Amino acid sequence: MAERPLVVLAGGTDFYPARVGRAIEEDVLDVTGIAGLRGIAAEADHWRIGAATTWTDVIEAELPPLFAGVKRAAREVGGVQIQNAGTVAGNICNASPAADGVPALLALEASVELRSQRGARILPLGEFLRGNRQTARGGDELVVAIRVPRRGEGSRSHFVKLGARRYLVISVVSVALRLDVDDAGRIAAAGIAIGACSAVPQRLPALEAALLGNPLKPGLGDVVEADHLAPLAPIDDIRGSANYRHDAALTLVKRGLDEMAAAA
Ligand SMILES: Cc1cc2nc3c(=O)[nH]c(=O)nc-3n(C[C@H](O)[C@H](O)[C@H](O)COP(=O)(O)OP(=O)(O)OC[C@H]3O[C@@H](n4cnc5c(N)ncnc54)[C@H](O)[C@@H]3O)c2cc1C
């Protein structure tokens, strides 16, 4: 990659659909055979998801409740065939506004590990994603892993997706929620991210702040106010109007919090 332009290929589930009807003339680097890139490992202060790790690998891995939201997102990425081939890293590198993995990982404050002959660098996911289909990855850099900070046992997450039908759809809105709950059952930290309502999925810092100190009990969804969704900028498209998306995001974030409270 340092010597000449190479297009990275992982599961190919975004790569090939983007090239339908035209010959592939780029030189391609298939990373799926690099065993060291696959798998999820617990490091001292973070979990490391190798770049060739598929959604099925995520579903089948034994992981703490912190990952419940990522696992739910994994089960909703396409169908089983797509989950068997598609990778978590491919999902974030493709940088679609509707990528289900992105809000799920933003809520966990994930970062992206890039390597090149120049060295390694680690970027927070929110900095790695620059816009619709745009990332901060240099042409000579390979994403080798995604890092998820380890958290206490009181940390859990959730993911809620709305599409035109229950499964096998691109998200109209997706909501990822992480709550760190202290020994008294109160929210000590939160990460809330919304997908498909802006060029890059966004966190909702005002809602995260408003949740602090609240008990994880039924009625938690009532904390959410329309103003908390200010960072969103949904568009009208074939899958839904901006107004519909905004309304759906409000409903889904409340529902997600209520579901987390009910599960607790
Ligand atoms: C039928 C169908 C249904 C789908 N449903 C969903 C869905 O519900 N939700 C959803 O979010 N997505 C969905 N997708 C999109 C896709 O499956 C996911 O985004 C998947 O995670 C992509 O991973 P991949 O390994 O196949 O990526 P690839 O197609 O191999 O690559 C995607 C992009 O990332 C780059 N890339 C990949 N790996 C690296 C790396 N290590 N370093 C640098 N660049 C890299 C590639 O060059 C390419 O530009 C669907 C796709 C299909 C075909």
Domain-embedded: residue 2: no
Q: Is the pLDDT of residue 167 over 90?
A: no
- Say if residue 106 is in the same domain as residue 159: no
- Say if residue 171 is in the same domain as residue 222: yes
pTM beyond 0.85, yes or no? yes
CATH number of the domain within which 171 lies: 3.30.390.50
- Indicate whether residue 90 lines ligand 1 (CB < 6 A): yes
Q: Which residue has a Cα nearest atom 7 of ligand 1?
A: 77
Taking a C-beta distance cutoff of 8 angstroms, is the pair 186, 214 a contact? yes
Q: How confident is the model at residue 166 (pLDDT cuts 50, 70, 90)?
A: confident
Closest CA to 147 of 245, 58, 224, 43: 43
- Say if residue 19 is in the same domain as residue 135: yes
Residues with Cβ < 8 Å from 247, sequence gap 6 or more?
none
Domain-embedded: residue 15: yes
Q: How far apart are CA 10 and CA 91, in angstroms?
A: 10
> 154 alpha carbon to ligand 1 midpoint, in Å?
32
Q: Is the pLDDT of residue 230 over 90?
A: yes
Q: How far apart are CA 51 and CA 249, in angstroms?
A: 30
Last residue of a domain, one of 149, 166, 196: 149
Q: How far apart are CA 246 and CA 130, in angstroms?
A: 22
> 83 alpha carbon to ligand 1 midpoint, in Å?
10
- Indicate whether residue 92 lines ligand 1 (CB < 6 A): no
Q: How confident is the model at residue 78 (pLDDT cuts 50, 70, 90)?
A: very high
Q: Is the pLDDT of residue 17 over 90?
A: yes
Query: Average pLDDT for residues 138-156, to the nearest whole number?
Result: 97
- Indicate whether residue 5 lines ligand 1 (CB < 6 A): no
Q: Is the dihedral of CA 257, 203, 55, 238 positive or negative?
A: positive
Residues 47, 50, 54, 58, Cα dihedral to 10°: -10
| Choice between 167 and 136, residue whose per-residue pLDDT is larger | 136
- Domain with 65, as residue range(s), is 7-149
First to last CA, the chain: 48
pLDDT tens digits, 169-209: 999 999 999 999 999 999 999 999 999 999 999 999 999 99
CATH number of the domain within which 28 lies: 3.30.465.10
Task: Provide φ and ψ at 228, rounded to 5°.
Answer: -65, -20
- Indicate whether residue 32 lines ligand 1 (CB < 6 A): no
- Indicate whether residue 57 lines ligand 1 (CB < 6 A): no
Q: Is the pLDDT of residue 31 over 90?
A: yes
Last residue of a domain, one of 149, 169, 204: 149
